[in-house]
Structure formats: structure tokens, C-alpha cells
Amino acid sequence: MAHYPHPLIAREGWPFLSVALIVAAAVTWFCGLWSIPFWLIALFVLQFFRDPPREVTGNSKSVLSPADGRIVAIQPVRDPWLDRDALKVSVFMNVFNVHSNRSPVDGEIIQRWYHAGKFVNADLDKASEENERNALHFRCADGQDITCVQVAGLIARRILCYAEAGAKLTRGQRYGFIRFGSRVDLYLPTTAHIKVTIGDKVRATSTLLAELQ
């Protein structure tokens, strides 16, 4: 998979932003000040699809945040994808967060799963089990396994993933996007040392979530 460059606006947002600007400009031409709400909508679309570059931190043992947002879960669970005990760390993205998803580790994708589902509020724990989701199984160089799951939200209707089995990703490499509110779940080895707490605000690639042992 080729590295995706970092323009100011994510490529996924170009059609939406173009339509919003055309509509706002047309309403301005015909209705003047009545166009203000349409320009506000265009501004919202612009901020939602922003895609800033990020500095990559850590080392080969580091697990970086795959998304911008807030930590809403840290708990021991059963990884439903690899059928093993794991530590689950969940990042909730609201509509004001950057929605590009980036690789949390250096590793090879062993398998990818897609599961159709509901669209309940991604801030709720049941979203991990009931919502539409896309999961990637990463294997790090030392053989440790990480599962990274994109989960659709209440108004999210499209999960985009550009990585397939066999791809080798580096920490911070952009691999996907979720439109309009969502979450990302990480299932880590039980020996991982968690570096964040519930409620922490995190930034993709810039925030260290955990260290592998």
C-alpha cells in the first residue's frame, strides 16, 4: 500500500467540500445574507475533513493512538477476533476530531475482517459488538499480535480501509478513514503496559497508548 501524502484536506472530503462550497456560493448569489447557514455548513465540512501531518513518536515497542479523540474504555476482555485474552483500549471520535486512522504499530497485517452491523452511539461499550466494524490483525516484528478495529458510530455510514492482508505498515501510516463520528478499539496483549487513563484526550500517532513487553 502506497503512503498517502498529507494535504490540508483529506481526499475523502473533497466531494463533500466541493458540493458544500458550490451550494453556499449559489445561495449567496441569489439570497445574499441568507446564505450564512450554508457557509457554516461548509466550514463544518472543512474542519471535519482536515488531515494534518503528525510527528511519529516511540519505538518498535510503542503502541500509538490510531485516532484522535478521547479514551472511553480500558479493560481486560476476550479479543473476539483472535479469541484470546487481551487488554482493550477504545478511542471515541466526535464530529470535531480528525477522522483519519493511522497504524498504531510497525507490523504486517495478517488478516482483515469486515462485519456489517448497527449504528448506535460509538461512545457506548455495546458499539464494539453491535456496530458496523472493520478489524485488522497486526503482527509486530517480535511476533506479538495487535487487533485494531474501526467501529462506525451513530451517524457514521462509511468505514474506509485501504490496507489488506500482507501489507506492512509503519507507525503513523495512514490506512483508513471513518466519516462522521466513530471509535477505534485496540486489543493488546495482556502484558502491555498502558500509558493512558479513561477520559484522556489523544492524538493519532502523537500519543503513546501503551508499551509492549
Measured between alpha carbons, how far is 114 from 200 in angstroms, rounded to an integer? 28
Q: Which residue's entry shows cell 518498535?
A: 60
Measured between alpha carbons, how far is 201 from 207 in angstroms, rounded to an integer? 9
What spatial distance separates the first Cα and last Cα of the chain, rounded to whole Å? 28
Catalytic site includes residue 182: yes
Q: Which residue's entry shows cell 490540508?
A: 8
Going by their DSSP bridges, the two strands 107-115 and 133-140 should be labelled as: antiparallel
Measured between alpha carbons, how far is 59 from 203 in angstroms, rounded to an integer? 17
Catalytic residue among 103, 128, 182, 206: 182
Active site residues: 182
